[in-house]
Amino acid sequence: FELKTTFPENFLWGGAAAANQLEGASNVGGKGLSLADVYIFDENTPKKNWSDQWHLMTHKQIEEAQDPASEKYYPKRHGVDFYHHYKEDIALLAEMGFKAFRMSIAWTRIFPNGDELIPNEEGLAFYDRVFDELNKYGIEPIVTLSHYEMPLHLTTKYGGWVSRKVIDFFVRYATTVAERYKHKVKYWMTFNEINCVVHHQYVSLGVIEENHPNIEQAMFQGAHHQFVASALATKACKESNPQAMVGCMVSYQLLVPYSCDPDDVQATVDKQRTSLFFTDVQARGYYPAYTARMFAEKNIVLKTEPEDEQIMKDYPVDYVSFSYYMSGAVSAHPEKIEGAEGNLLTGGVKNPYLPSSDWGWQIDPKGLRTAINQLYDLYQKPVLVAENGLGALDVLQEGDVIEDDYRIDYLKEHIKQIKEAIADGVDVMGYTSWGCIDMVSAGTNQMSKRYGYIYVDQDDMGRGTKRRIKKKSFYWYKNVIATNGEQL
Ligand code: BG6
* Per-domain residue ranges of the chain: 12-482
Nearest to 442 by CA among 26, 43, 50: 50
429 by DSSP, 3-state: which? strand
Question: Across the strands, what pairs with 16?
Answer: 102, 434
Q: What pLDDT does 210 receive? A: 63
398 labelled catalytic: no
**Ligand 1 shell residues, CB under 6 Å:** 18, 21, 192-193, 251, 323, 387, 391, 434, 441-444, 449
Judge contact between 14 and 431, C-beta under 8 A.
Answer: yes
Judge contact between 16 and 103, C-beta under 8 A.
Answer: yes
The list of the chain residues with pLDDT below 50 reads none
Q: What pLDDT does 49 receive? A: 81
Question: How far from 94 is each of 138, 187, 228, 360, 478, CA to CA, in Å?
Answer: 8, 18, 36, 33, 9
241 by DSSP, 3-state: which? coil
Nearest to 485 by CA among 427, 418, 392: 418
Atom of ligand 1 nearest to the CA of 441: 16
Euclidean distance between CA atoms 3 and 117, whole angstroms: 52
387 labelled catalytic: yes
Amino acid at 431: Y
Judge contact between 31 and 112, C-beta under 8 A.
Answer: yes
206 by DSSP, 3-state: which? coil
Euclidean distance between CA atoms 182 and 203, whole angstroms: 29
Judge contact between 46 and 63, C-beta under 8 A.
Answer: no
- Best of 441, 450, 460 for a ligand 1 pocket test (most atoms within 8 Å of beta carbon): 441
- 226 alpha carbon – ligand 1 mean position (Å): 20
Atom of ligand 1 nearest to the CA of 251: 3
Euclidean distance between CA atoms 468 and 153, whole angstroms: 34
Instruction: Kindly give the pairing relationship between strand 454-456 and strand 319-323.
Output: unpaired
Question: Across the strands, what pairs with 257?
Answer: 330
- Best of 191, 204, 387, 446 for a ligand 1 pocket test (most atoms within 8 Å of beta carbon): 387
Judge contact between 330 and 264, C-beta under 8 A.
Answer: yes
Atom 10 (ligand 1) nearest CA:
442
Q: Which of 387, 398, 403, 413 is labelled catalytic?
A: 387
Judge contact between 412 and 488, C-beta under 8 A.
Answer: yes
Atom 8 (ligand 1) nearest CA:
442
Judge contact between 349 and 339, C-beta under 8 A.
Answer: yes
Atom 2 (ligand 1) nearest CA:
442
- 388 alpha carbon – ligand 1 mean position (Å): 9
Q: Which of 23, 133, 140, 193 is labelled catalytic?
A: 193
Atom 15 (ligand 1) nearest CA:
441
- 2 alpha carbon – ligand 1 mean position (Å): 36
Atom of ligand 1 nearest to the CA of 18: 8
- 376 alpha carbon – ligand 1 mean position (Å): 23
Euclidean distance between CA atoms 220 and 111, whole angstroms: 25
Write down the pTM of the prediction: 0.97
Euclidean distance between CA atoms 246 and 243, whole angstroms: 10
Span 273-326, pLDDT tens digits: 999 999 999 999 999 999 999 999 999 999 999 999 999 999 999 999 999 999
Atom of ligand 1 nearest to the CA of 444: 14
Euclidean distance between CA atoms 348 and 326, whole angstroms: 11
- 446 alpha carbon – ligand 1 mean position (Å): 11
**DSSP calls for 72-91:** -B-GGGTTT-HHHHHHHHHH
Atom 5 (ligand 1) nearest CA:
442
Atom of ligand 1 nearest to the CA of 389: 11
- 442 alpha carbon – ligand 1 mean position (Å): 5
295: which residues sit within 8 A by CB, 6+ positions away? Answer: 220, 301, 302
**DSSP calls for 133-149:** HHHHTTPEEEEEEESS-
Rounded to an integer, what is the distance from CA 91 to the centroid of its chain?
A: 23
- 303 alpha carbon – ligand 1 mean position (Å): 31
Q: Domain 12-482 maps to which CATH number in 3.20.20.80, 3.40.250.10, 3.30.470.10, 2.50.20.10?
A: 3.20.20.80
